[in-house]
Amino acid sequence: MRLEFMDRVKENDVLGRNIYTSEGNILLRAGVKLNTLYIEKLRKVGIIYIYIEDNRLDDVEEEDKQLLELKSLTMKNMSKIIKNISGNTNRKESIDSLKIIENLIDYIIEMGDVNKYLYNIQTYDNYTYVHSIDTGIMSTFLGERMNLNENELKELGMGAILHDIGKTRIPISIINKKGSLTGEEYDEIKKHPIYGKEILERNFKISSNVIKIITEHHERVDGTGYPYGLKGYQISKFGKIACVCDVYDSIMSDRCYRKKLAPNDAYELILAGSGSIFDDKIVKNFKNTFSVYPLGCCVKLSNGIEGYVIKQNPGFPDKPIIRVLYDTNTKKPVQFYEIDLVKSLNMVIKSIV
């Protein structure tokens, strides 16, 4: 299947993957033949790209259905989970809520294949919950790359999913404000890691590593972060991992006050911050874990040729294998051929089409 921007989707294209709402429910099922009404509806709710069935790309990996089911279950229960953890509900309800998160993390540890996770399509009208879960999933994958043990991975995933729980104490008018925050509002936002720490320490006997993630995910290795202005070795490995994943997922998502960055621009921002904003070892592992261009997306090369990403090259996140399906000038089909950008040193990807 291929990943297409909505402006390239045509009538009678067949949807290749389910589209989910931010509550984890299916908005449109895979296999549906798209018509004008469906296409306009998807655009209206903010869908930017979708997977389309294409037998020329039938070797592009299928989504991991069990992972998406677990993620959807977590999303459906996220408001209850946050309420139980941050409120004064009984301990059993709170523990049951955490178990839902643990089941998701356990499966990520078991599967270990990030390419089946990235770029599942959903609406983003509930940014906070979607962002929290995606940050937890990414952090767990990155922690696996760094050879954390199973217990550490569970702590990392749990802390990363709950990293913004302190925002439940921030007025919604500040969280969803369009445009620049006042100095006073920004000072309040910067308190959410402290609020999160207080919530978890008050209601739970929770590991120090989880607490570190909550309090340190906005700290920067050069000391410019908040709330404490920690730097370098003062920041835990757990906090540094969550920091990178939090920033990457944030800039890859639309917000009320800005548009998201393209995948290659978001990736470059992370790499550019290596050794200053982010720990250089964490960034190196990030580079070896996550790919810039999702499977099935169409890219334009430096020589003008357009093709679809069919496979990633480990260790070379910006140099996947491309399959060319048509002549770029005439748009007419050609005999398929592939370009491995690791081997083709004279070509690079210029843009996503």
pLDDT band at 79 (very low <50, low <70, confident <90, very high): confident
- At 41, is the secondary structure helix, strand, or coil? helix
The pLDDT assigned to 260 comes to 63
The pLDDT assigned to 58 comes to 84
Residue 215: φ, ψ to 5°: -85, -20
Give CA–CA dist 269/259, Å, rounded. Answer: 15
Judgement on whether residues 20 and 166 belong to the same structural domain of the protein? no
pLDDT over 90 for what percent of the chain? 44
Judgement on whether residues 47 and 184 belong to the same structural domain of the protein? no
Q: How many CB atoms are located within 10 Å of the residue 224 CB?
A: 11
Q: Is residue 343 scored above 90 in pLDDT?
A: yes
Judgement on whether residues 80 and 211 belong to the same structural domain of the protein? yes
pLDDT band at 20 (very low <50, low <70, confident <90, very high): confident
Residue 240: φ, ψ to 5°: -65, -40
Q: Is residue 257 scored above 50 in pLDDT?
A: no
Judgement on whether residues 40 and 137 belong to the same structural domain of the protein? no
Total domain count, the chain = 3
Judgement on whether residues 103 and 162 belong to the same structural domain of the protein? yes
Q: Is residue 24 scored above 80 in pLDDT?
A: no
Scored b (16 or more CB within 10 A) or e, 19-30 reads bbbbbbeebbeb
The pLDDT assigned to 253 comes to 67
Averaged pLDDT, 318-329: 91
Averaged pLDDT, 68-79: 74
pLDDT band at 133 (very low <50, low <70, confident <90, very high): confident
pLDDT over 70 for what percent of the chain? 86
Which residues make beta-bridge pairs with 333? 326
Pick from 95-99, 142-146, 205-209, 228-232: least confident:
95-99
Q: Is residue 23 scored above 70 in pLDDT?
A: no
* pTM listed for this prediction: 0.81
Averaged pLDDT, 302-308: 94
Judgement on whether residues 196 and 328 belong to the same structural domain of the protein? no
Higher pLDDT, 88 or 81: 81
Judgement on whether residues 258 and 129 belong to the same structural domain of the protein? yes
Q: Is residue 166 scored above 60 in pLDDT?
A: yes
46: domain CATH number is 3.90.105.10
Judgement on whether residues 201 and 334 belong to the same structural domain of the protein? no
The pLDDT assigned to 128 comes to 66
Q: Is residue 3 scored above 60 in pLDDT?
A: yes
Averaged pLDDT, 21-45: 85
Judgement on whether residues 81 and 154 belong to the same structural domain of the protein? yes
DSSP letter assigned to residue 56: G
In single-letter form, the type of residue at position 240 comes to K
Q: What would the pLDDT profile of 34-46 be if each residue is shown by its tens digit? A: 999 999 988 887 7
pLDDT band at 75 (very low <50, low <70, confident <90, very high): confident
Averaged pLDDT, 81-86: 74
The pLDDT assigned to 125 comes to 47
Scored b (16 or more CB within 10 A) or e, 153-176 reads bbbbbbbbbbbbbbbbebeeeebe
The pLDDT assigned to 31 comes to 92
User: Has residue 263 been placed in a domain?
Assistant: yes
Could you tell me whether strands 333-340 and 349-352 are parallel, antiparallel, or unpaired per DSSP bridges?
Answer: unpaired
The pLDDT assigned to 90 comes to 59
Evaluated on CA atoms 86, 92, 98, 104, the torsion sign reads negative
Averaged pLDDT, 225-246: 96
Q: Is the peptide bond before 227 cis (omega within 30 degrees of 0)?
A: yes
105: domain CATH number is 1.10.3210.10
DSSP letter assigned to residue 169: G
Averaged pLDDT, 304-326: 90
Q: What would the pLDDT profile of 211-228 be if each residue is shown by its tens digit? A: 999 999 999 999 999 999
Judgement on whether residues 204 and 109 belong to the same structural domain of the protein? yes
Give CA–CA dist 138/248, Å, rounded. Answer: 9
Higher pLDDT, 223 or 202: 223
The pLDDT assigned to 118 comes to 54
Average confidence score pLDDT of the chain: 85
> Range of 345's domain?
297-352
Averaged pLDDT, 281-300: 88
Averaged pLDDT, 270-293: 91
Averaged pLDDT, 331-350: 92
Residue 261: φ, ψ to 5°: -85, 155
The pLDDT assigned to 256 comes to 46
